[in-house]
Structure 1
Protein backbone atom coordinates (compact mmCIF):
# COMPACT_ATOMS: atom_id res chain seq x y z
CA UNK A 1 0.00 0.00 0.00
CA UNK A 2 1.07 3.57 -0.71
CA UNK A 3 2.40 5.38 2.34
CA UNK A 4 0.75 8.49 3.65
CA UNK A 5 3.80 10.56 2.67
CA UNK A 6 3.79 9.25 -0.88
CA UNK A 7 0.09 10.02 -1.21
CA UNK A 8 0.74 13.56 0.05
CA UNK A 9 3.61 14.01 -2.41
CA UNK A 10 1.48 12.75 -5.29
CA UNK A 11 -1.38 15.06 -4.33
CA UNK A 12 1.06 17.99 -4.19
CA UNK A 13 2.41 17.17 -7.64
CA UNK A 14 -1.12 16.97 -9.09
CA UNK A 15 -2.08 20.31 -7.57
CA UNK A 16 1.14 21.88 -8.84
CA UNK A 17 0.52 20.52 -12.36
CA UNK A 18 -3.01 21.94 -12.36
CA UNK A 19 -1.78 25.35 -11.26
CA UNK A 20 0.86 25.36 -14.00
CA UNK A 21 -1.73 24.29 -16.55
CA UNK A 22 -4.19 27.01 -15.49
CA UNK A 23 -1.47 29.66 -15.56
CA UNK A 24 -0.36 28.51 -18.98
CA UNK A 25 -3.92 28.74 -20.31
CA UNK A 26 -4.50 32.15 -18.76
CA UNK A 27 -1.27 33.58 -20.15
CA UNK A 28 -2.37 32.81 -23.71
CA UNK A 29 -6.14 32.85 -23.32
CA UNK A 30 -7.04 35.26 -26.16
CA UNK A 31 -7.03 34.01 -29.74
CA UNK A 32 -3.53 34.78 -31.09
CA UNK A 33 -4.92 36.50 -34.22
CA UNK A 34 -7.06 38.78 -32.04
CA UNK A 35 -4.03 39.58 -29.88
CA UNK A 36 -1.95 40.51 -32.93
CA UNK A 37 -4.69 42.81 -34.24
CA UNK A 38 -5.09 44.56 -30.89
CA UNK A 39 -1.35 45.04 -30.55
CA UNK A 40 -1.26 46.55 -34.05
CA UNK A 41 -4.12 48.91 -33.15
CA UNK A 42 -2.43 49.96 -29.91
CA UNK A 43 0.80 50.67 -31.78
CA UNK A 44 -0.98 52.97 -34.26
CA UNK A 45 -2.90 54.96 -31.65
CA UNK A 46 -1.39 57.71 -29.54
CA UNK A 47 -2.45 59.66 -26.46
CA UNK A 48 -3.26 56.27 -24.99
CA UNK A 49 -2.92 57.03 -21.29
CA UNK A 50 -6.58 56.11 -20.70
CA UNK A 51 -6.21 52.72 -22.41
CA UNK A 52 -5.32 51.02 -19.15
CA UNK A 53 -4.22 47.43 -19.45
CA UNK A 54 -3.42 47.66 -23.16
CA UNK A 55 0.02 46.45 -24.30
CA UNK A 56 2.03 46.71 -27.50
CA UNK A 57 3.35 43.18 -26.99
CA UNK A 58 2.74 40.21 -24.72
CA UNK A 59 -0.79 41.20 -23.75
CA UNK A 60 -3.89 39.09 -23.26
CA UNK A 61 -7.05 41.19 -23.86
CA UNK A 62 -9.50 38.47 -22.78
CA UNK A 63 -7.43 37.15 -19.90
CA UNK A 64 -6.57 40.59 -18.55
CA UNK A 65 -8.53 43.80 -17.99
CA UNK A 66 -8.14 45.90 -21.15
CA UNK A 67 -10.19 49.12 -21.05
CA UNK A 68 -13.19 48.95 -23.39
CA UNK A 69 -12.56 45.37 -24.54
CA UNK A 70 -15.14 42.62 -24.03
CA UNK A 71 -14.80 38.95 -24.92
CA UNK A 72 -16.72 35.75 -25.26
CA UNK A 73 -14.40 32.90 -24.42
CA UNK A 74 -11.10 33.59 -26.14
CA UNK A 75 -12.58 35.87 -28.83
CA UNK A 76 -12.92 39.66 -28.71
CA UNK A 77 -16.54 40.67 -29.29
CA UNK A 78 -16.58 44.40 -28.51
CA UNK A 79 -14.23 47.41 -28.53
CA UNK A 80 -15.72 50.52 -26.91
CA UNK A 81 -13.11 53.26 -26.55
CA UNK A 82 -15.21 56.37 -27.17
CA UNK A 83 -14.19 59.78 -25.79
CA UNK A 84 -10.73 58.84 -24.54
CA UNK A 85 -8.85 61.59 -26.42
CA UNK A 86 -7.10 59.07 -28.66
CA UNK A 87 -5.09 60.14 -31.69
CA UNK A 88 -3.25 58.20 -34.36
CA UNK A 89 -4.84 55.97 -36.99
CA UNK A 90 -6.84 52.76 -37.30
CA UNK A 91 -5.25 49.44 -38.17
CA UNK A 92 -6.07 47.79 -41.49
CA UNK A 93 -6.18 44.42 -39.71
CA UNK A 94 -9.56 44.88 -38.01
CA UNK A 95 -10.96 42.33 -40.45
CA UNK A 96 -9.09 39.69 -38.42
CA UNK A 97 -11.46 40.21 -35.49
CA UNK A 98 -13.95 37.62 -36.68
CA UNK A 99 -16.12 37.64 -33.53
CA UNK A 100 -16.27 41.41 -33.07
CA UNK A 101 -19.84 42.73 -33.29
CA UNK A 102 -19.44 46.21 -31.78
CA UNK A 103 -16.78 48.82 -32.61
CA UNK A 104 -17.04 52.27 -31.02
CA UNK A 105 -14.08 54.63 -31.49
CA UNK A 106 -16.17 57.81 -31.62
CA UNK A 107 -15.38 61.19 -30.05
CA UNK A 108 -11.60 60.96 -30.34
CA UNK A 109 -8.98 62.59 -32.60
CA UNK A 110 -8.26 59.62 -34.82
CA UNK A 111 -7.08 60.59 -38.31
CA UNK A 112 -6.29 58.87 -41.59
CA UNK A 113 -8.73 56.89 -43.71
CA UNK A 114 -11.35 54.35 -42.71
CA UNK A 115 -9.61 51.03 -43.38
CA UNK A 116 -11.03 48.73 -46.01
CA UNK A 117 -10.58 45.82 -43.62
CA UNK A 118 -13.33 46.19 -41.05
CA UNK A 119 -14.66 43.47 -38.71
CA UNK A 120 -16.65 41.22 -41.08
CA UNK A 121 -19.36 40.33 -38.55
CA UNK A 122 -19.83 43.79 -37.05
CA UNK A 123 -23.38 44.85 -36.18
CA UNK A 124 -22.52 48.28 -34.78
CA UNK A 125 -19.76 50.66 -35.97
CA UNK A 126 -19.43 54.20 -34.61
CA UNK A 127 -16.51 56.33 -35.83
CA UNK A 128 -18.22 59.71 -35.39
CA UNK A 129 -16.47 62.89 -34.23
CA UNK A 130 -12.92 62.13 -35.28
CA UNK A 131 -10.61 63.54 -37.96
CA UNK A 132 -11.03 60.85 -40.56
CA UNK A 133 -10.45 61.73 -44.22
CA UNK A 134 -10.97 60.04 -47.57
CA UNK A 135 -14.14 58.21 -48.46
CA UNK A 136 -16.34 55.35 -47.32
CA UNK A 137 -14.51 52.12 -48.26
CA UNK A 138 -15.98 50.18 -51.16
CA UNK A 139 -15.51 46.98 -49.13
CA UNK A 140 -18.42 47.98 -46.88
CA UNK A 141 -20.96 45.61 -48.55
CA UNK A 142 -18.99 42.68 -47.15
CA UNK A 143 -20.38 43.57 -43.70
CA UNK A 144 -23.61 41.63 -44.16
CA UNK A 145 -24.72 41.90 -40.52
CA UNK A 146 -24.15 45.63 -40.07
CA UNK A 147 -27.20 47.43 -38.62
CA UNK A 148 -25.69 50.73 -37.47
CA UNK A 149 -23.03 52.88 -39.13
CA UNK A 150 -22.09 56.38 -37.94
CA UNK A 151 -19.21 58.31 -39.52
CA UNK A 152 -20.62 61.79 -38.89
CA UNK A 153 -18.54 64.81 -37.85
CA UNK A 154 -15.38 63.87 -39.74
CA UNK A 155 -13.58 65.28 -42.77
CA UNK A 156 -14.71 62.61 -45.22
CA UNK A 157 -15.11 63.85 -48.78
CA UNK A 158 -15.39 62.97 -52.48
CA UNK A 159 -18.33 61.37 -54.29
CA UNK A 160 -19.80 58.45 -52.36
CA UNK A 161 -19.57 55.43 -54.62
CA UNK A 162 -21.92 52.46 -54.54
CA UNK A 163 -20.54 51.37 -51.19
CA UNK A 164 -23.95 50.32 -49.86
CA UNK A 165 -24.93 47.66 -52.37
CA UNK A 166 -27.09 44.88 -50.90
CA UNK A 167 -26.56 45.98 -47.30
CA UNK A 168 -30.00 44.71 -46.39
CA UNK A 169 -29.32 44.57 -42.64
CA UNK A 170 -28.48 48.27 -42.31
CA UNK A 171 -31.08 50.15 -40.25
CA UNK A 172 -29.39 53.40 -39.20
CA UNK A 173 -26.90 55.35 -41.36
CA UNK A 174 -25.36 58.69 -40.35
CA UNK A 175 -22.84 60.32 -42.69
CA UNK A 176 -23.79 63.90 -41.76
CA UNK A 177 -21.38 66.81 -41.18
CA UNK A 178 -18.73 65.76 -43.68
CA UNK A 179 -17.68 67.05 -47.10
CA UNK A 180 -19.32 64.50 -49.40
CA UNK A 181 -20.25 65.83 -52.83
CA UNK A 182 -21.93 64.74 -56.05
CA UNK A 183 -25.10 62.72 -56.51
CA UNK A 184 -26.40 60.25 -53.97
CA UNK A 185 -25.26 56.70 -54.79
CA UNK A 186 -27.82 54.47 -56.48
CA UNK A 187 -26.98 51.76 -53.91
CA UNK A 188 -28.98 53.75 -51.34
CA UNK A 189 -32.04 52.35 -53.08
CA UNK A 190 -31.14 48.82 -51.99
CA UNK A 191 -31.22 49.61 -48.26
CA UNK A 192 -34.60 47.99 -47.78
CA UNK A 193 -34.44 47.84 -43.96
CA UNK A 194 -33.07 51.34 -43.42
CA UNK A 195 -35.33 53.48 -41.23
CA UNK A 196 -33.04 56.38 -40.22
CA UNK A 197 -30.86 58.31 -42.67
CA UNK A 198 -28.84 61.42 -41.81
CA UNK A 199 -27.17 63.27 -44.71
CA UNK A 200 -27.24 66.87 -43.47
CA UNK A 201 -24.36 69.33 -43.83
CA UNK A 202 -22.60 67.89 -46.87
CA UNK A 203 -22.38 69.03 -50.49
CA UNK A 204 -24.62 66.48 -52.19
CA UNK A 205 -26.18 67.62 -55.45
CA UNK A 206 -29.02 66.86 -57.85
CA UNK A 207 -32.12 64.92 -56.77
CA UNK A 208 -33.01 62.61 -53.92
CA UNK A 209 -34.71 60.02 -56.13
CA UNK A 210 -32.65 57.08 -54.88
CA UNK A 211 -34.09 57.36 -51.38
CA UNK A 212 -37.73 58.08 -52.21
CA UNK A 213 -38.89 54.46 -51.89
CA UNK A 214 -37.18 53.68 -48.60
CA UNK A 215 -39.40 53.06 -45.58
CA UNK A 216 -37.86 55.82 -43.48
CA UNK A 217 -39.02 57.13 -40.13
CA UNK A 218 -36.15 59.64 -39.80
CA UNK A 219 -34.61 61.64 -42.65
CA UNK A 220 -32.41 64.73 -42.48
CA UNK A 221 -31.03 66.21 -45.73
CA UNK A 222 -30.62 69.83 -44.61
CA UNK A 223 -27.82 72.04 -45.90
CA UNK A 224 -26.79 70.32 -49.11
CA UNK A 225 -26.98 71.28 -52.79
CA UNK A 226 -30.05 69.22 -53.66
CA UNK A 227 -32.59 70.65 -56.09
CA UNK A 228 -36.00 69.68 -57.39
CA UNK A 229 -39.45 68.95 -56.04
CA UNK A 230 -39.85 67.37 -52.65
CA UNK A 231 -40.98 63.81 -53.47
CA UNK A 232 -44.54 62.94 -52.53
CA UNK A 233 -43.23 59.88 -50.68
CA UNK A 234 -41.57 62.12 -48.09
CA UNK A 235 -44.91 63.30 -46.72
CA UNK A 236 -45.31 60.09 -44.70
CA UNK A 237 -41.90 60.32 -42.96
CA UNK A 238 -42.61 61.17 -39.29
CA UNK A 239 -39.27 62.93 -38.62
CA UNK A 240 -38.27 64.92 -41.71
CA UNK A 241 -35.84 67.83 -41.98
CA UNK A 242 -35.21 69.31 -45.43
CA UNK A 243 -34.70 73.07 -45.10
CA UNK A 244 -31.41 74.95 -44.90
CA UNK A 245 -30.56 77.33 -42.09
CA UNK A 246 -31.29 80.26 -44.40
CA UNK A 247 -34.71 78.93 -45.41
CA UNK A 248 -38.02 79.25 -43.63
CA UNK A 249 -41.36 77.63 -44.27
CA UNK A 250 -43.57 80.12 -46.19
CA UNK A 251 -46.35 81.54 -43.98
CA UNK A 252 -49.12 80.12 -46.17
CA UNK A 253 -47.73 76.60 -45.68
CA UNK A 254 -47.50 76.71 -41.90
CA UNK A 255 -51.22 76.14 -41.56
CA UNK A 256 -51.54 73.86 -44.56
CA UNK A 257 -51.88 70.13 -44.38
CA UNK A 258 -48.54 68.39 -44.64
CA UNK A 259 -49.44 66.37 -47.72
CA UNK A 260 -50.70 69.38 -49.67
CA UNK A 261 -47.59 71.34 -48.82
CA UNK A 262 -45.24 68.64 -50.02
CA UNK A 263 -47.14 68.14 -53.26
CA UNK A 264 -46.96 71.80 -54.18
CA UNK A 265 -43.71 73.23 -52.86
CA UNK A 266 -40.54 73.37 -54.95
CA UNK A 267 -37.44 73.34 -52.80
CA UNK A 268 -33.90 74.22 -53.79
CA UNK A 269 -31.64 72.69 -51.18
CA UNK A 270 -28.81 75.14 -51.91
CA UNK A 271 -26.23 75.15 -49.18
CA UNK A 272 -25.50 78.33 -47.28
CA UNK A 273 -21.85 77.39 -46.82
CA UNK A 274 -19.13 78.34 -49.30
CA UNK A 275 -16.84 75.64 -47.97
CA UNK A 276 -17.16 72.49 -45.95
CA UNK A 277 -15.85 72.67 -42.43
CA UNK A 278 -16.05 70.77 -39.19
CA UNK A 279 -18.93 71.69 -36.91
CA UNK A 280 -19.44 70.42 -33.38
CA UNK A 281 -22.90 69.14 -32.50
CA UNK A 282 -25.50 71.80 -31.76
CA UNK A 283 -28.79 71.44 -29.97
CA UNK A 284 -30.60 69.79 -32.88
CA UNK A 285 -27.73 67.38 -33.43
CA UNK A 286 -27.64 66.48 -29.73
CA UNK A 287 -31.34 65.69 -29.93
CA UNK A 288 -30.62 63.55 -32.98
CA UNK A 289 -27.93 61.66 -31.09
CA UNK A 290 -30.33 61.03 -28.22
CA UNK A 291 -32.87 59.75 -30.72
CA UNK A 292 -30.28 57.42 -32.21
CA UNK A 293 -29.51 56.06 -28.74
CA UNK A 294 -33.18 55.19 -28.32
CA UNK A 295 -33.18 53.52 -31.75
CA UNK A 296 -30.09 51.51 -30.85
CA UNK A 297 -31.83 50.00 -27.86
CA UNK A 298 -34.36 48.55 -30.29
CA UNK A 299 -31.77 46.96 -32.61
Structure 2
Protein backbone atom coordinates (compact mmCIF):
# COMPACT_ATOMS: atom_id res chain seq x y z
CA UNK A 1 0.00 0.00 0.00
CA UNK A 2 2.83 2.37 0.89
CA UNK A 3 4.52 1.68 -2.45
CA UNK A 4 1.28 2.40 -4.32
CA UNK A 5 0.75 5.63 -2.36
CA UNK A 6 4.32 6.75 -3.02
CA UNK A 7 3.98 5.95 -6.72
CA UNK A 8 0.68 7.85 -6.93
CA UNK A 9 2.26 10.85 -5.23
CA UNK A 10 5.21 10.75 -7.61
CA UNK A 11 2.89 10.62 -10.59
CA UNK A 12 0.88 13.54 -9.20
CA UNK A 13 4.01 15.65 -8.69
CA UNK A 14 5.24 14.74 -12.17
CA UNK A 15 1.90 15.67 -13.72
CA UNK A 16 1.76 18.95 -11.81
CA UNK A 17 5.30 19.87 -12.82
CA UNK A 18 4.65 19.36 -16.49
CA UNK A 19 1.07 20.63 -16.63
CA UNK A 20 0.63 22.31 -19.99
CA UNK A 21 -1.10 25.36 -21.34
CA UNK A 22 -3.98 24.64 -23.69
CA UNK A 23 -3.10 23.12 -27.10
CA UNK A 24 -4.58 26.24 -28.73
CA UNK A 25 -2.27 28.59 -26.84
CA UNK A 26 0.75 26.38 -27.37
CA UNK A 27 0.09 26.22 -31.11
CA UNK A 28 -0.19 30.01 -31.23
CA UNK A 29 3.25 30.31 -29.63
CA UNK A 30 4.70 27.72 -32.01
CA UNK A 31 3.16 29.59 -34.97
CA UNK A 32 4.78 32.81 -33.74
CA UNK A 33 8.13 31.03 -33.42
CA UNK A 34 7.82 29.55 -36.91
CA UNK A 35 6.59 32.64 -38.75
CA UNK A 36 9.10 35.02 -37.17
CA UNK A 37 12.14 32.76 -37.70
CA UNK A 38 12.49 31.66 -34.11
CA UNK A 39 15.70 29.77 -34.72
CA UNK A 40 17.37 33.13 -35.43
CA UNK A 41 16.01 34.95 -32.38
CA UNK A 42 18.54 36.44 -30.00
CA UNK A 43 16.95 34.36 -27.24
CA UNK A 44 15.39 31.39 -29.01
CA UNK A 45 13.08 28.68 -27.70
CA UNK A 46 13.56 24.95 -27.54
CA UNK A 47 10.09 24.03 -28.74
CA UNK A 48 10.67 20.44 -27.66
CA UNK A 49 10.62 21.68 -24.07
CA UNK A 50 7.72 22.94 -21.97
CA UNK A 51 6.55 26.50 -22.82
CA UNK A 52 7.25 27.33 -19.19
CA UNK A 53 10.94 27.32 -20.09
CA UNK A 54 10.56 29.66 -23.07
CA UNK A 55 12.09 33.06 -22.42
CA UNK A 56 9.59 35.90 -22.51
CA UNK A 57 6.56 33.68 -21.89
CA UNK A 58 4.82 34.20 -18.55
CA UNK A 59 2.41 31.44 -17.55
CA UNK A 60 0.14 31.56 -14.52
CA UNK A 61 -2.39 28.85 -13.75
CA UNK A 62 -1.57 27.23 -17.08
CA UNK A 63 -2.52 30.34 -19.02
CA UNK A 64 -0.18 32.57 -21.03
CA UNK A 65 -0.65 36.01 -19.52
CA UNK A 66 2.38 37.87 -20.92
CA UNK A 67 4.55 37.61 -24.01
CA UNK A 68 7.63 39.84 -23.89
CA UNK A 69 10.00 39.41 -26.82
CA UNK A 70 11.30 42.93 -27.25
CA UNK A 71 14.64 43.46 -29.03
CA UNK A 72 14.85 39.77 -29.90
CA UNK A 73 15.44 39.75 -33.68
CA UNK A 74 11.96 38.63 -34.71
CA UNK A 75 11.53 38.80 -38.50
CA UNK A 76 8.69 37.76 -40.77
CA UNK A 77 4.99 38.28 -40.03
CA UNK A 78 2.75 37.77 -37.02
CA UNK A 79 0.43 34.74 -37.28
CA UNK A 80 -3.34 35.11 -37.20
CA UNK A 81 -3.36 32.53 -34.41
CA UNK A 82 -1.85 35.08 -32.03
CA UNK A 83 -5.45 35.94 -31.25
CA UNK A 84 -5.78 32.54 -29.59
CA UNK A 85 -3.64 33.79 -26.71
CA UNK A 86 -6.92 34.87 -25.18
CA UNK A 87 -5.56 35.36 -21.64
CA UNK A 88 -2.76 37.78 -22.52
CA UNK A 89 -2.43 40.96 -20.51
CA UNK A 90 0.86 42.07 -22.08
CA UNK A 91 2.04 41.71 -25.69
CA UNK A 92 5.43 43.39 -26.06
CA UNK A 93 7.27 42.91 -29.36
CA UNK A 94 9.08 46.26 -29.34
CA UNK A 95 12.19 46.76 -31.48
CA UNK A 96 12.22 43.84 -33.87
CA UNK A 97 11.87 43.57 -37.66
CA UNK A 98 8.31 42.31 -37.91
CA UNK A 99 6.66 42.98 -41.29
CA UNK A 100 3.13 42.68 -42.66
CA UNK A 101 0.02 43.89 -40.87
CA UNK A 102 -1.28 43.74 -37.33
CA UNK A 103 -3.51 40.63 -37.32
CA UNK A 104 -7.19 41.41 -36.94
CA UNK A 105 -7.36 38.59 -34.41
CA UNK A 106 -5.45 40.66 -31.86
CA UNK A 107 -8.81 42.17 -30.97
CA UNK A 108 -9.92 38.75 -29.68
CA UNK A 109 -7.65 39.27 -26.66
CA UNK A 110 -10.24 41.15 -24.63
CA UNK A 111 -8.21 41.48 -21.43
CA UNK A 112 -5.13 42.94 -23.12
CA UNK A 113 -3.67 45.88 -21.21
CA UNK A 114 -0.40 46.49 -23.09
CA UNK A 115 -0.05 46.31 -26.87
CA UNK A 116 3.47 47.29 -27.85
CA UNK A 117 4.60 46.46 -31.39
CA UNK A 118 6.61 49.66 -31.79
CA UNK A 119 9.87 49.99 -33.72
CA UNK A 120 9.11 47.34 -36.34
CA UNK A 121 8.23 47.35 -40.06
CA UNK A 122 4.48 46.96 -39.86
CA UNK A 123 2.24 48.23 -42.65
CA UNK A 124 -1.48 48.58 -43.27
CA UNK A 125 -4.19 49.98 -41.04
CA UNK A 126 -5.19 49.41 -37.44
CA UNK A 127 -7.32 46.31 -36.75
CA UNK A 128 -10.96 47.04 -37.50
CA UNK A 129 -12.26 46.29 -34.01
CA UNK A 130 -9.35 47.72 -32.03
CA UNK A 131 -11.72 49.66 -29.79
CA UNK A 132 -13.19 46.37 -28.54
CA UNK A 133 -10.10 46.09 -26.33
CA UNK A 134 -11.79 47.86 -23.44
CA UNK A 135 -9.03 46.93 -20.95
CA UNK A 136 -6.23 48.46 -23.05
CA UNK A 137 -4.03 50.92 -21.15
CA UNK A 138 -0.96 51.30 -23.37
CA UNK A 139 -1.03 51.40 -27.17
CA UNK A 140 2.52 51.74 -28.52
CA UNK A 141 2.91 51.45 -32.29
CA UNK A 142 5.49 54.15 -32.99
CA UNK A 143 8.21 53.81 -35.64
CA UNK A 144 6.35 51.65 -38.16
CA UNK A 145 4.79 52.27 -41.58
CA UNK A 146 1.16 52.13 -40.49
CA UNK A 147 -1.48 54.05 -42.43
CA UNK A 148 -5.16 54.94 -42.29
CA UNK A 149 -7.17 56.87 -39.74
CA UNK A 150 -7.85 56.47 -36.05
CA UNK A 151 -11.22 54.88 -35.26
CA UNK A 152 -13.94 57.43 -34.57
CA UNK A 153 -14.97 55.48 -31.47
CA UNK A 154 -11.50 55.57 -29.89
CA UNK A 155 -13.25 57.02 -26.86
CA UNK A 156 -14.42 53.46 -26.08
CA UNK A 157 -10.90 52.68 -24.84
CA UNK A 158 -11.80 54.24 -21.51
CA UNK A 159 -8.80 52.78 -19.65
CA UNK A 160 -6.22 54.11 -22.12
CA UNK A 161 -3.30 55.90 -20.48
CA UNK A 162 -0.95 56.25 -23.45
CA UNK A 163 -1.36 56.35 -27.20
CA UNK A 164 2.02 56.48 -28.91
CA UNK A 165 1.82 56.42 -32.71
CA UNK A 166 4.58 58.80 -33.78
CA UNK A 167 6.64 58.25 -36.93
CA UNK A 168 4.03 56.44 -39.02
CA UNK A 169 1.80 57.48 -41.92
CA UNK A 170 -1.52 57.97 -40.15
CA UNK A 171 -3.85 60.58 -41.63
CA UNK A 172 -7.21 62.21 -41.04
CA UNK A 173 -8.57 64.14 -38.11
CA UNK A 174 -8.17 63.31 -34.46
CA UNK A 175 -11.57 61.87 -33.39
CA UNK A 176 -13.60 64.08 -31.06
CA UNK A 177 -14.36 61.02 -28.90
CA UNK A 178 -10.79 61.27 -27.58
CA UNK A 179 -12.21 63.63 -24.96
CA UNK A 180 -13.76 60.59 -23.24
CA UNK A 181 -10.32 59.17 -22.38
CA UNK A 182 -10.11 60.70 -18.92
CA UNK A 183 -7.19 58.46 -17.84
CA UNK A 184 -5.06 59.49 -20.83
CA UNK A 185 -1.65 60.83 -19.82
CA UNK A 186 0.32 60.69 -23.06
CA UNK A 187 -0.70 61.57 -26.62
CA UNK A 188 2.30 61.04 -28.88
CA UNK A 189 1.28 61.27 -32.53
CA UNK A 190 3.98 63.45 -34.08
CA UNK A 191 5.51 62.85 -37.51
CA UNK A 192 2.36 61.60 -39.22
CA UNK A 193 -0.12 63.15 -41.66
CA UNK A 194 -2.94 64.09 -39.29
CA UNK A 195 -4.91 67.16 -40.35
CA UNK A 196 -7.87 69.35 -39.45
CA UNK A 197 -8.45 71.07 -36.14
CA UNK A 198 -7.59 69.65 -32.76
CA UNK A 199 -10.69 68.62 -30.82
CA UNK A 200 -11.40 71.29 -28.22
CA UNK A 201 -12.25 68.50 -25.78
CA UNK A 202 -8.55 67.64 -25.38
CA UNK A 203 -8.43 70.53 -22.92
CA UNK A 204 -10.75 68.54 -20.61
CA UNK A 205 -8.27 65.67 -20.24
CA UNK A 206 -7.09 66.56 -16.75
CA UNK A 207 -4.72 63.57 -16.51
CA UNK A 208 -2.83 64.60 -19.65
CA UNK A 209 0.89 65.24 -19.11
CA UNK A 210 2.32 64.95 -22.61
CA UNK A 211 0.87 66.26 -25.86
CA UNK A 212 3.26 65.74 -28.76
CA UNK A 213 1.68 66.50 -32.14
CA UNK A 214 4.51 68.22 -34.04
CA UNK A 215 5.24 67.55 -37.72
CA UNK A 216 1.66 66.99 -38.92
CA UNK A 217 -0.85 69.03 -40.92
CA UNK A 218 -3.10 70.23 -38.11
CA UNK A 219 -4.71 73.58 -38.89
CA UNK A 220 -7.20 76.12 -37.57
CA UNK A 221 -7.20 77.52 -34.06
CA UNK A 222 -5.05 75.94 -31.41
CA UNK A 223 -7.31 75.27 -28.37
CA UNK A 224 -6.00 77.87 -25.94
CA UNK A 225 -7.56 76.06 -22.98
CA UNK A 226 -4.87 73.39 -23.40
CA UNK A 227 -2.57 75.90 -21.73
CA UNK A 228 -4.51 75.41 -18.50
CA UNK A 229 -3.50 71.74 -18.28
CA UNK A 230 -0.59 70.73 -16.08
CA UNK A 231 1.49 69.50 -19.02
CA UNK A 232 5.08 68.36 -18.71
CA UNK A 233 5.56 68.40 -22.48
CA UNK A 234 3.75 70.29 -25.24
CA UNK A 235 5.15 70.06 -28.78
CA UNK A 236 3.09 71.38 -31.69
CA UNK A 237 5.66 72.79 -34.16
CA UNK A 238 5.54 72.17 -37.92
CA UNK A 239 1.78 72.33 -38.28
CA UNK A 240 -0.54 74.91 -39.85
CA UNK A 241 -2.20 76.46 -36.81
CA UNK A 242 -3.28 80.07 -36.82
CA UNK A 243 -0.30 81.89 -35.38
CA UNK A 244 -2.39 84.13 -33.13
CA UNK A 245 -3.82 81.18 -31.21
CA UNK A 246 -0.62 79.34 -30.47
CA UNK A 247 0.37 79.03 -26.85
CA UNK A 248 3.88 78.98 -25.45
CA UNK A 249 5.58 75.66 -25.00
CA UNK A 250 5.76 74.84 -21.32
CA UNK A 251 9.02 73.33 -20.08
CA UNK A 252 8.53 72.01 -16.57
TM-score class, shorter-chain normalisation, is 0.7 to 0.9
Matched, 1:221 2:213: yes
Kindly report the root-mean-square deviation, in angstroms, between the aligned alpha carbons of the 2 structures: 2.5
| Comparing 28-37 and 177-186, the one that deviates more | 28-37
- In the TM superposition, residue 263 of structure 1 has moved relative to its aligned partner by 10
- In the TM superposition, residue 166 of structure 1 has moved relative to its aligned partner by 1.1
Residues 203 and 226 of structure 2 are in contact (CA less than 8 Å); yes or no, is this contact kept in structure 1? yes
Corresponding residue for 1:106?
94
1:236 to 228, 235, 240: 228
Distance in 1 of aligned mates of 2:173 and 2:16:
54
Distance in 2 of aligned mates of 1:35 and 1:165:
34
Corresponding residue for 1:34?
25
Q: How does 1:74-223 map to 2 (within 5 A)?
A: 74-118=62-106, 119-162=109-152, 164-209=154-199, 211-215=202-206, 216-223=208-215
Who wins on radius of gyration, i.e. which is larger? 1
Distance in 2 of aligned mates of 1:131 and 1:225:
24
Contiguous gaps of at least 5 residues in structure 2: 247-252
Distance in 2 of aligned mates of 1:39 and 1:163:
34
- SS state of the match for residue 157, structure 2? coil
Cα shift readout 1:203-223 (whole Å, capped 9, x = no counterpart): 111111263433322100000
Contiguous gaps of at least 5 residues in structure 1: 1-9, 248-261, 268-299
Distance in 1 of aligned mates of 2:116 and 2:46:
21
Distance in 1 of aligned mates of 2:234 and 2:213:
8
Distance in 1 of aligned mates of 2:153 and 2:77:
22
Query: Which runs of structure 1 show a deviation greater than 4 angstroms over 4 or more consecutive aligned residues?
Result: none
Residues 19 and 62 of structure 2 are in contact (CA less than 8 Å); yes or no, is this contact kept in structure 1? no
- SS state of the match for residue 118, structure 2? coil
Residues 183 and 204 of structure 1 are in contact (CA less than 8 Å); yes or no, is this contact kept in structure 2? yes
TM-score, length basis structure 1: 0.72
Distance in 1 of aligned mates of 2:98 and 2:242:
44
